[in-house]
Structure 1
Amino acid sequence: MKKFAFIMATLLILTGCSIKSGDNYTKYEARTSEVGFDTVMTFVAYTKDEATFNDYFSKVKAAFLRYNALFDKYNDYEGVANIKTINDNAGIAPVTVDPLIIEMLERSRDYTEVSNGYFDITYGSVMEIWHDYREEGIEKNASGELGEIPTQDVLEEAQDSTRDGNLSKLIKQITPSFLLMPKQDLM
C-alpha cells in the first residue's frame, strides 16, 4: 500500500506541482474495467503529451492489478501467495506472503480496534454465506423465482467463529513474511 501511495504522490507532484508558466499541459483521461476488483477506474492527469499520460496510466493500472492479485480471496494467480492461498493453507502450513499483505492485516487490526469491531476482515465465513445466497438468488431470479436470505441463526453461528480475536491472533503468528492462519475462511 505504501508503494501505491508513493506512486500516486509522485504522479501528483510530477503532474500538479511542476507546472511553470508557459508550460503547456493537456488534460488526459482514461477509463478501464481491466484493473481487477470488479470495478471501473478512471484516471485523469495533466501532462505535456499523450505518451507521458499513457506511461502513467500503465503504471497505475499495473499497481491496481498487483493489488487485485494479492488481495483476491477467490482466485489463484501463478507465483502469487494471496488471500486465497492463505485461506487454502489455513491450519495446515505457513504461507510466505508479500509484505503488503502483512501491512494490510496490521492496518485491518487497527481499524477493527478503532471501529469497536464494526470493521472486521475476519468475517470471511459470514461474507461467504451472503455470497452463496446472493449467487443462488441471481440464478433463481433469472428463472423467475425468488431468492432467499440466510437465517439469523446461520449468520450468528458463522459470526461466533470470528468473534474470538482471530485477527489479533493471526498477526501474533506473523514473522517477517510468513503467515499461519489458525482456521479457514477467516478472510
Structure 2
Amino acid sequence: MINDKQLLVTLKTDPDPGTVDLVSLDEGRVTGAVPTAVSAPQGTLTPFGFAVYRDGTAVITLAHSNQDGLFRNGAFTSVVDAGQAADCWMTRVGKYVFTANTGSKTISRLIGTGSHVFVDSQVAAAIATGGAPTDIDADAGVLGVIDHGAGQSHLSLFRYNEFGELTAQGTPITVGVPNANGVAILSADDRDRI
C-alpha cells in the first residue's frame, strides 16, 4: 500500500514489459474505479518486488532486466542497473532497501531518495547455502531470506545495523520442504498486535 488512498500492484508481463497498477482506495477499501496502469520504463522488464517509503515513494525491482526503479507520484522517475541478476524480492529498513537477487544468489542494498535510486552495495551479503533466494523480510534488527537449492529450502538470518550492514547469524536453517515461499519477520510488538 502506498497510503490510505492508493494500493500498488505489480504485474510482471501482461502486457509486456509489465505494469505497476495503482488501485484507488477509500478509507482502506477498494473503490471499484479502474486501476491506473503505468508501464515499466522503456528498456526495462518485469516490475516485481517493491518497498514503500513513508512518503509513498516506492523502489521497485525490474527483475528480468536486472534493474531497479524509483516510483513516485504515479510514475517512474529513475532507473538504475542492479549489478546483480534477477533482483526480485525487496524489503525496507529505514532508508535502506534490500533486494534478494535470485539469479546471483545475493542480497543488495539500495537507497531511494526523492527522485533517484542508488545501489549502495551490489553484494551486501551472499546466500551461504548457494540457493536462489525467493523472499526477504526484515524487522527489529533481523533480516530473513528464504532460498531454494539442492531440493531443499533454507532460512538464512542476518543482523543489520544503522548503516545497513548485514552480518550472518548462525547456520542457515533447513526448512524441510523443497519449495518454501515467503518469510515474515515480526518484532515482539508486531506479534502482540496479531
The TM tier, using the shorter chain, reads: under 0.3
TM-score (norm 2): 0.27
Q: Which has the higher helix share?
A: 1
Larger Rg: 1
State the TM-score, normalized to the length of structure 1. 0.27
Structure with greater contact order relative to length (CA < 8 Å, sep ≥ 6): 1
